[in-house]
Amino acid sequence: MKNAHSGGENSLHSEGGSASLGDETGSKAQDAVHEASRENVSRRQASSIQMQGLHKRFGKDTVALNGVDLDIEAGEFFTLLGPSGCGKTTMLRILAGLEEADDGRLTIGGKDVTEVPPHHRSVNTVFQSYALFPHLSVRENLAFGLKMRGVPQAQREEKVAEIAHFIHLGDLIDRRIDQLSGGQKQRIALARALVCEPDVLLLDEPLSALDAGLRSQLQVELLRVQKRLGMTFVFVTHDQDEAMVMSDRIAVLNGGNIQQVGAPRDVYERPANAFVARFMGHDNLYRIMARQGGRLTTEIGELEVEELEIEEGNQHAAQGELVLIRPETLDLKPGRAEGVNHLPGRITERLYRGSHAEFRIEIGSVVLQATVNNRGRHLPEVGDEVTVVVAAEDLVTLSE
C-alpha cells in the first residue's frame, strides 16, 4: 500500500514490520515507538492543518467554537482535550466536513477546504462506535471504502491484505463482525480508515468503550502506527492520561475556546490557567494574598518561588493569582522541621496504591494533597505530624 505523495516509498510494510504491541509493555513499548518515529516520520509527506477564526453556533445560545485559531503540524499526533460540550467533537466534525463552520477558514495540506464536501477531502474518521457493517466480513469491511472509490478488485485485494498484515488481522480476515471482541473491532475500524490512505486521520474517542487493560495496549499500538506512517492524527478525548501518553501536542478546550496548546509535559506541569490545572487533575491550588518578588503570602503559608523568565504570550504567570503545588513534587518529613517552604501539618487520610501512597494533609484550615513513592520505606500514618517540603522550582503561579 503506497502513499501517493511519497512516490510509493512509505508502504505499510515499513522496515519495522508489524504495528502490533500485544507482547510489549512499559519501556520496551516506548522504545519501539521512538524507533518507529526515527525510522519513518521523515519519509512521509504528511498534511498540516490550519484553522483561522472558526466559529460555530447551534441555535441562539450554544457557542460550540468561538473564533478558534489553531495550527497542527504535518505528521503530528495532535489531541483535542476537554470536557463534554467544550467544542472538541464539533472541531473534528468540521475537519471531516460533516459540519460547516459559520465563519472562518480551514486549510489542510495548504489547500482551502472550508467549503469542500467530505468525500472530496483526503480525511478519514475512526468513530467511538466503530461504525462497522455487521452483515459484512472483516475483509469486506476493509475493502468497502476502496470499492466506493472505484479501485479495481485486484488492487483492492492487495491493499486489504497489506493493511491486514500491518495491523495483525490476518487470522480474523474472514470472520463476521459479530464474532469479534471490542478490541478487535476497534483495530478493524482503524485498518478500514487507513486502507484508503488519507492525508489526515481523525479519531473520535475511539478507545473509550474498552476496558482499562486493552485500552492501554491500544493506546501504544495507535501511537506506533502513527509514527510508522508519519500520518497526521487528530485525536479527541476527555481522558487526561490518554492525551498525555499519546500526544505530541495537546489543545485544551473549554466553552468553544482554546485554553492552552502545548506538549503534554508543558500542559501538565505549567498549566496556563486554573481551568487547565483543574482539568489536568490538580487540586492543590491556593490563592495568593500578597507577592513581593519571589516571596508569596498564600492561604497555605509563606512560600518562595523561583523567579522564572516569562515567555512571550504567557505574561499572566508573572501576575498569578493562584499558586499550584503538584502533589508528586512534595516530600514529607516526620515531625516539625524549620526552613524555607517547610509547611507543618497533620496526616488526615492515607490511600495506599502499591507503588505510591496518596496523603491528605491538614495545614491550618487548608488541606494539601501529596503523593509519595513507596520505596520500601516507612510511610506516615493517619494522625502523624509531618512537615511538607515544597521545592521553589516546582511551584507554578497562574491566573484564575
User: pLDDT tens digit string along 103-158?
Assistant: 999 999 999 999 999 989 989 988 877 778 888 888 888 888 888 888 888 988 88
Q: What is the reported pLDDT for 1?
A: 42
Q: What is the reported pLDDT for 163?
A: 83
pTM over 0.85: no
Scan for cell 523561583, then name that residue: 306
Q: What is the reported pLDDT for 192?
A: 85
Q: Residue 314 to residues 244, 276, 281, 310, 311: CA-CA distances in angstroms?
A: 21, 14, 21, 6, 5
The DSSP result for 37-57, as a single string, is HHHHGGG-----EEEEEEEEE
User: pLDDT tens digit string along 153-200?
Assistant: 898 888 888 888 877 777 888 888 888 888 788 888 888 888 888 889
Name 68's bridge partners.
54
d(CA 156, CA 143): 6
Q: What is the reported pLDDT for 307?
A: 62
Q: What is the H or E stretch that residue 81 is in?
A: strand 77-81
The arrangement of strands across the sheet holding 77-81 comes to: 123-126, 200-204, 232-237, 77-81, 249-254, 257-262
Q: What is the reported pLDDT for 168?
A: 76
d(CA 224, CA 389): 39
d(CA 356, CA 232): 36
Low-confidence ranges of the chain (pLDDT < 50): 1-30, 32-44, 309-318
Q: What is the reported pLDDT for 254?
A: 96
Name 396's bridge partners.
324
d(CA 90, CA 56): 8
Going 367 to 370 to 374 to 378, the CA torsion angle's sign is: negative
Alpha-helical regions (H) of the chain:
26-40, 88-96, 138-148, 153-166, 182-194, 212-229, 240-246, 264-269, 274-279
The arrangement of strands across the sheet holding 49-58 comes to: 62-72, 49-58, 103-108, 111-112
Scan for cell 493562584, then name that residue: 322
The closest alpha carbon to 244, from 356, 126, 77, 397, belongs to 77
Q: Which domains does the chain have, with CATH numbers?
A: 4-266 (3.40.50.300), 272-323 (no CATH), 327-391 (2.40.50.100)
* Pair 98, 118: CB distance under 8 Å: yes
Long-range contacts of 180-185 (CB under 8 A, 24+ apart): 180/138, 182/209, 182/210, 182/211, 182/214, 183/210, 183/214, 183/217, 183/218, 185/130, 185/132
d(CA 296, CA 174): 66
d(CA 112, CA 400): 37
* Pair 126, 222: CB distance under 8 Å: no
Going 91 to 97 to 103 to 108, the CA torsion angle's sign is: positive
Q: What is the reported pLDDT for 304?
A: 92
